[in-house]
Amino acid sequence: MSDVPLETSISTAARPPEDAALLAVPFAADLDPPVGLPVPAAALLACYEAKGEAGEIVEVPVARGEAVGRILLYGIGDGSADALRKAGAAVTRRGRGREEIAVVPPPGASAAAVAAFTEGALLAAYTFRIGETAPSSRPVASIRLVTGTPGDDGGTGDATETGETGTGDARETGETGTAAVESGIARGRAVAGAVALARDLANTPASVKTPAWLAERAAEQGVATRIWDERELRAGGFGGILAVGQGSVSPPRLIQLSYEPEGEATGHVVLVGKGITYDTGGLSLKPTEGMKFMKTDMAGGAVVIAVLGALAALGARVRVTGLVAAAENSFSGTAQRPSDVITQYGGRTVEVLNTDAEGRLVMADALAYADAELDPDVMVDIATLTGAIGIALGKGLGALFASDDGLAAELAGAGEASGERLWRMPLIDDYVPALESSVADLANIEVGSAYGAGSITAALFLREFTGGRPWAHLDIAGVGRSTVDEGLSAKGATGFGVRLLLEWLSGR
């Protein structure tokens, strides 16, 4: 994986610096905060009506010689991985504009707990800005996790002692001590770095982010890469990718990334990502409001690139091939027209009734190619595919469609464990007639309005190109972008899908 420039570094320290202006220590409903506070802990928490909920912060001034420092009491809730991510995010956000925060890790300091805390801290520190950032708005530059006993200067006790609070997964098992903290930091940093890469790729303006530029960034991830240019796409019969990209001055690309684990692989997974570097809607032109965020319409492709780049760092034992179908959906005299009939990879013909339903066209080529040439055990695609899914599930859940119940359960479990939750949606075979065309094998959108289930019919369209293999489709149109800067998310691309796919793949 290329070095992702996370703005906040995180490391360990045996003791908090004596002049630490900000020291963060954990507390929960059944966990007393450390000694060294200016008033008894119970009275202090009662004054603030603090309950120790995940992400709750109580800030207390303390004497630091002749200066004044501050202790942040950060709530860890039930100690679950999700709660610790929220806690890490809250600490980082409170430290914005500072050079350094010293942090006593969550009780137990298992690798899993530290990884979750690190993920949350680094994801909340993410920023993307072209130009100068005001100092007060910059994320904290450095976080030091304290692994030893601070002693009498702040009285926080041994950070490696096993705590007794909570029943969350992140603290139930796992070796403790400095080695576990270092291990947790490494995993958390690898995952957060991958998310940051996906966010960076999606947030980059389309004036820079052409399909060729995206292919160049993919080739930097330290795995074997193959790129099809427009000539090779034409020779290979990738009619969907070519049709979507033919209206743009920036030609399309198909990007293939290949990860091979050390030793015998446990299986072969193909990931397919939608890589529309900008989506005007084509001749079925979007309104201005609908176009404002379309530089992030390749968020699924960004997730695939980031995941492939991070697998080695996490020691994944499964073989993974990533395919990103990249094109700019523009309008011009050469753009495809509503009513055009195109031939997808493998020979299926599609009547294009709406050029703004373009993501499924490029992904159909990639899925058909994977089925015909790569012989995967499982295929999973991810895309900002339909606006309808945002209406159905809002901003908190990604949509999961799957042809296999076991695969659906695995992905849903990985979503819960990673904090990127999925909701399974139905593949209703009674809706397949919606895609019938009178002049081609398929239509790219519903003919008429008898069914009205736009996200379901889009998934059914993609299923047609999977060859009957175990397959899942993740529609992240509702969760792939954030309009607010809070919690683990920054305004703009979220990188949703990176954490859940890394969780799933590293456990196979």
Catalytic residues: 286, 360
Burial of 30 (0-12, 13-18, 19+ CB in 10 A): exposed
DSSP string, 332-382: STTS--TTEEEE-TTS-EEEES-TT--HHHHHHHHHHHIIIII--SEEEEE
Nearest of 181, 178, 162, 158 to residue 35 by alpha carbon: 158
List the strands of the sheet with 471-475, edge to edge.
224-228, 253-259, 319-329, 268-279, 378-383, 471-475, 398-402, 422-424
Burial of 12 (0-12, 13-18, 19+ CB in 10 A): middle
Token output for 203 = 């947030």
Residue whose pair of structure tokens reads 């176009």 in the numeric block: 291
Nearest of 348, 344, 373 to residue 361 by alpha carbon: 344
Q: Which residues of 261-290 are buried (b: 16+ CB within 10 A; e: fewer)?
A: eeeebeeebbbbbbbbbbbbbbbbeeeeee
Q: How far apart are CA 89 and CA 55, in angstroms?
A: 7
CA 198 from centre of chain: 7
Rg of the chain (C-alpha set): 24
Sequence-ordered list of residues with C-beta below 8 angstroms from that of 442, at least 6 positions apart, any chain:
348, 349, 350, 351, 435, 436, 461, 464
Tell me the residue length of the chain: 508
Within a 10 A sphere around the Cβ of 504, how many other Cβ atoms?
Answer: 25
Within a 10 A sphere around the Cβ of 316, how many other Cβ atoms?
Answer: 22
Torsional sign, CA 471, 409, 256, 302: positive
Q: How far apart are CA 87 and CA 121, in angstroms?
A: 8
